[in-house]
Amino acid sequence: MPSPRRKHTRLACPKKSKPPKNLSRCRWFTWIFSAGGLLALIWFLLRVIPKPSRAAYPCQRAAFPLASGFIVWLAGAIGSITFIRRAKRSLAQSRYALCAVLVAVSVGSVWFAQSITTEETLFADEPIANAPIGHGKGIHPGRVAWVHDPDATDWDGPGDGHWWESSHTNQDAVDTMVSRAVRALSGEPSDAAAWDALFRYFNEMHGKGNVGYRSGEKIVIKVNFVGCIRIWNKSTVATIEDYNLKNLDYMNTSPQMIIALLRQLVNEAGVNESDITVGDTLCYFPNEFYNMCHGQFPNVRYLEYLGRFGRTAAKPSPVPLYWSTPDAAGTTTDYVPASYVEAEYLINLANLKSHNDAAGVTLCAKNHYGSLVRKPARAPGYYDLHKDLPFTTPGMGHYRPLVDLIGHKHLGGKTLLYLIDGLYAGKHAKERAPRKWNSPPFDGDWSSSLFVSQDPVAIDAVGFDFLWAEWDDAPHQSGTNDYLIEAALADNPRSGTFYDPDHKGNVTRLASLGAYEHWNNPTDRQYSRNLGMGKGIELVKLNAK
């Protein structure tokens, strides 16, 4: 009998599964990055080759990091593929050791390309969003509290009195801003508990144990009275009227913010008035501000340049400050003010201002240009502090003296708290009065803000972002944010500088001074910790109630 015909069962081919969503997104990102990088490269070459000077144009400075990153990424990808193919051949030939080496080299090519690409974008002139570096400081690392209250300011501008008058700046509103900020920063429910937490964190970090403020410990509040700088001879000060404000609407630290901070320290933290010193060593303490502060806190010491009419004169201590640059060799040594050395704590109360002729921005770090006892401020023979600022030395990866200032043990090393008075932001030294802001939530009104942090890098990074988004001139100067990157990477800076302001010569390199990054966009204002990434900066936003 013929054998029965065997049935042939046709096996169904398995359906192709859809790629995971995250893989699809990754492919889309690769295509977008590749196309964008290629277009940026073509655009850069077409524009710059015929006229090399165009490389300095803002559009070309923006295109170059993407174009160069694309080239590095492409070289890494080609190298990785080449080594993987050779590894496969070695595996087929049972040359296992060589195969392992080639796989390692392939992975290393990708890693190297990625690290170089990240570095190139990080050190580009245009800040890159959410690329945090450094190590956050504070009870909540990298936290910056921002309070915005339009009710704190009510001034129509020059001609309507002056912004610092009590009829134009609401003391009660400013008091509430400071209270809310310190509570948000510490995470504590009351002002007293907030200050206790701040002091305890500081003391623990400085090897003093879990202890709060102790009666008798001295505190210095460094304000910014740059509108009150005078290179005086004492003989020119004949009467009390010589202490009247000359630049009546200049963007100095507001007396209301000083009073609010003094109220917190005396009434909530338990500090005796006589243990507090407030002022600016290079400026005079004007009558208008002195009378408002002294009237409420007569036993506080009001520090200034000369020390006339009830004020305290700034004097140098024997403690030197060494600039971490060879250019400072042979210059006259700077010394820290005696009041700083005597104090256990420092509070840095800066202003929200751009800096149109030197630094790009002037925030907490630049506030310490008023923490030296030079007479005058630019006395001959001293290291020129303005030589290494962005307008003189543009670009990224340079020595920045601001790092030495916030790293010195008696300056940034003693700082308990950093604040930026943003009630009336302005453009120093280009203009004589503050400006209203157009970006949301300000919408044509004063900035009416206060920023508070325990992290010197994070708070200036946030201040820089606000100024960078609002104004398109000085904050966009090439190298303006370089000091923040140098400070965040002080243990291994791009410039190669051995930052050690406490010693003559390279003895002890500074550690990272804080966290730096650029927000995601000027509308959402979110940093990496806001996005749940666990590092970088966290901006806590406190709007008016």
Q: What is the pLDDT of residue 17?
A: 44
Q: Contact, 304 vs 311, CB < 8 A?
A: yes
Strands 143-148 and 449-453: antiparallel
Task: Please compute the mean of the pLDDT values over residues 275-298 and round it to a whole number.
Answer: 97
The per-residue pLDDT for range 454-479, each reduced to its tens digit, is: 999 999 999 999 999 999 999 999 99
Query: Among residues 138, 215, 220, which one has the least CA distance to residue 181?
Result: 138
| Alpha helices, H only, 57-95 | 58-92
Q: What is the pLDDT of residue 98?
A: 72
Q: Is the pLDDT of residue 253 over 90?
A: yes
The per-residue pLDDT for range 314-371, each reduced to its tens digit, is: 999 999 999 999 999 999 999 999 999 999 999 999 999 999 989 999 999 999 999 9
Q: 3-class SS at 233?
A: coil
Pairwise CA distance, residues 417 & 419, whole Å: 7
Show me where the domains of the chain are located: 24-122, 134-543
Strands 301-304 and 276-279: parallel
**Amino acid making up residue 394:** P
Overall pTM surpassing 0.85 (yes/no): no
Residue 66, CA distances (Å) to 113, 306, 439 in order: 13, 53, 28
Q: 3-class SS at 318?
A: strand
Beta bridge partners of 427: 354
Q: What is the pLDDT of residue 42?
A: 80
